């Protein structure tokens, strides 16, 4: 999902996506620990997605966008 698409969502939808992203990161870390993760670059991508979601939620709380 692109940043413009994320900004079009409501805060509730963003928080739901944030929860899903946390679960995805947990699953990636678990797969890494059990050596089942084929592409280790998925972890930074998931972390970046979490950061983007948190930033957009904060922007909406402050009324910046």
* pLDDT tens, residue by residue, 9-25: 999 999 999 999 999 99
Query: The whole model's pTM is what?
Result: 0.89
Mean pLDDT in residue range 24-42: 96
Residue 31: both structure tokens together: 């797969």
What is the domain count for the chain? 1
Residue 55 domain boundaries: 3-62
- The answer to whether the Cα torsion of 24, 25, 31, 35 is positive or negative is positive
Q: Write the Ramachandran bin of 29: left for phi over 0, alpha for psi from -120 to 50, otherwise beta.
A: alpha
Rounded to whole angstroms, the Cα distance separating 1 from 37 reads 22
Phi/psi at 35 (nearest 5 deg)?
A: 60, 35
- In the predicted model, is pLDDT for residue 38 greater than 80? yes
CA dihedral 24, 46, 57, 15 (to 10 degrees): -10
CATH number at residue 24: 1.10.287.310
Mean pLDDT in residue range 34-60: 96
Could you tell me the pLDDT band of residue 1, with boundaries at 50, 70 and 90?
confident
């Amino acid at each position: 999902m692109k940043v413009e698409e994320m900004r079009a969502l409501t805060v509730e939808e963003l928080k739901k996506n944030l929860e899903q992203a946390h679960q995805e990161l947990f699953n990636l870390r678990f797969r890494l620990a059990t050596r089942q993760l084929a592409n280790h670059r998925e972890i930074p991508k998931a972390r970046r997605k979490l950061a983007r979601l948190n930033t957009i939620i904060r922007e909406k709380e402050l009324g910046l966008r």
